[in-house]
Amino acid sequence: MARNLTTGGGEDLPSDTNGKSANNNSLVVSFGEFLIDFVPTVGGVSLAEAPAFKKAPGGAPANVAVCVSRLGGTSAFIGKVGDDEFGRMLANILKENNVDNSGMRFDHSARTALAFVTLRADGEREFLFFRHPSADMRLRESELDINLIKQAKIFHFGSISLIEEPCKSAQLAAMNIAKNSGSILSYDPNLRLPLWPSAEAARKGIMSIWDQADLIKVSEDEITFLTEGGDPYDDNEVMKNLFHPNLKLLIVTEGPAGCRYYTKTFKGRVPGIKVKPVDTTGAGDAFVGGLLSSLASDLNLFQDEKRLREALAFANACGALTVTERGAIPALPTKQAVLEALSKHHG
Burial of 275 (0-12, 13-18, 19+ CB in 10 A): middle
Burial of 265 (0-12, 13-18, 19+ CB in 10 A): exposed
Order of all β-strands in the sheet with 35-40: 53-58, 35-40, 114-119, 125-130
- The gap from C-alpha 344 to its chain's centroid, in whole angstroms, comes to 27
Residue 231 one-letter amino acid: D
List 136, 285, 298, 304, catalytic entry: 285
Compute the C-alpha angle 294/284/201, nearest 5°. 120
Q: Are 343 and 333 in contact (CB under 8 A)?
A: no
Please report, for the chain, how many H helices and E strands are present, in that order.
10, 13
Q: Are 129 and 194 in contact (CB under 8 A)?
A: yes
Q: Is 12 a catalytic residue?
A: no
Kindly list the catalytic residues: 285
